[in-house]
Structure 1
């Protein structure tokens, strides 16, 4: 898909999307996959500007550390609907799993699914926006994290059901990172099993661009 300066690409989610952005600066994209996507789109726009004028889409990062799906729901109107984006990308779910194990704070999969479904359904009816969902993922670096899959796998299936039910495109970050971990140490991609390294973020960005932006991924070093 070709994006231009009429497009607003909005990304919302947890710390993986946040990636250290400056919340006092609306233009801050953090240091993760959102910045990598914006950088690639900017380079593409600059390279093609003389032949095909169109401009660079606006990119907005609304990730917040620690968010679960219910936190997204509480700020969806202000952080998504009111900004009238043309593409909405949601990356959520790992904290809904993680909080069960580190704080005893459950997020039942059926309630999680219903909440995410309401957000995407309401957005589809309110905005003429393209919907994109990035699946949650985990690359265990401790034996304890292996137990999380009991909660995360059915949650990922719920994310897929909601995405397909609302006509959203799906970026399978779980599969992309799992394949990459066959040739690399998990900690090289996500040092704590959850938060991606620069390489992990680049892989997610490439997966998004391949799914949504029709590009050839950069060569990895």
Structure 2
């Protein structure tokens, strides 16, 4: 896919997307995969980071009109779900899969309806940092399936970070990619950025040495 200076690429999600961005500065991209993608694009498209630490899917839906639709993006990328799982285990806050899927489906539908933007949906991921996090998959696995169903239903390009990061962990070790199991290291963010760039077709015609 080729992007031009007229394109606005918007990324939205939780802390994995936020990565310390300055919310007072619309041009601030944080220090994670969003910045890496912006720097790897071969064309001068505008990139916007709308990640917010701690957010779950209902938080995204509550701010969708102002943080997404009002900007009229041409490409929207969503990465959400791990906090919907995490809050079940650390605070006892439930996010039923049916409600989660319905909420995600509604925001994706609004993008298609109001912006006619191209959609990318990233799967949530977990690289367990200890035995207690292994149990999270009982919640995260069906949630990931819900993300995949919603993405397919709305014609989104799926970025399987839940597959890319474990593959990278086989080589580098899980702790090198996400020390606490959830928040990526610089290397983990690089894996995510590369997965998005590959899904977007940015690497087409580029040699391995020219890739991120």
Normalised by the length of structure 2, the TM-score is 0.96
Q: 2:19 is matched with which residue?
A: 19
Instruction: Give the equivalent residue in structure 2 for 1:171.
Output: 159
Specify every segment of 5 or more residues in structure 2 that has no aligned partner in the other structure, as ranges: none
Task: Give matches, 1:38-187, under 5 Å.
Answer: 38-41=38-41, 44-45=42-43, 56-187=44-175
Q: 1:3: which partner in 2?
A: 3
3-state SS in 2 of match to 1:11 = strand
Shift of 1:213: 3.5
For 2:194 and 2:111, how far apart are their aligned partners in 1?
A: 25
Q: Post-superposition shift, 1:5?
A: 0.5
Q: Per-residue deviation at 1:128?
A: 1.4
Stretches of structure 1 lacking an aligned partner (at least 5 in a row): 46-55
Please give the per-residue CA displacement for 1:131-165, whole angstroms capped at 9, x wherever unaligned: 00010000001110000000000000000000000
Structure 1 residue 208 corresponds to structure 2 residue 196 = yes
Corresponding residue number in structure 2 for 1:29:
29
1:219–1:177 CA distance, 2 compared to 1 (3 A) = farther
**Does structure 2 conserve the Cα–Cα contact (< 8 Å) formed by 1:206 and 1:218?**
no
For normalisation by structure 1, the TM-score amounts to: 0.92
- In the TM superposition, residue 102 of structure 1 has moved relative to its aligned partner by 0.3
Given the superposition, is the C-alpha separation of residues 118 and 139 from structure 1 closer, same or farther in structure 2, using an over 3 Å criterion? same
The offset of 1:220, in angstroms, is 9.5
Please give the secondary structure, in 1, of the residue aligned with 2:49: strand
Query: 2-side partners of 1:220 and 1:184: how far apart?
Result: 19
Q: 1:110 to 1:200 in 2, by over 3 A?
A: same
Q: How many residues align?
A: 209
Q: CA deviation at 1:214?
A: 2.8
Q: Which residue of 2 is the match for residue 53 of structure 1?
A: none
**Root mean square deviation, CA, Å:** 1.5
Per-residue deviation, 1:219: 8.3
3-state SS of paired residue (2:38): helix
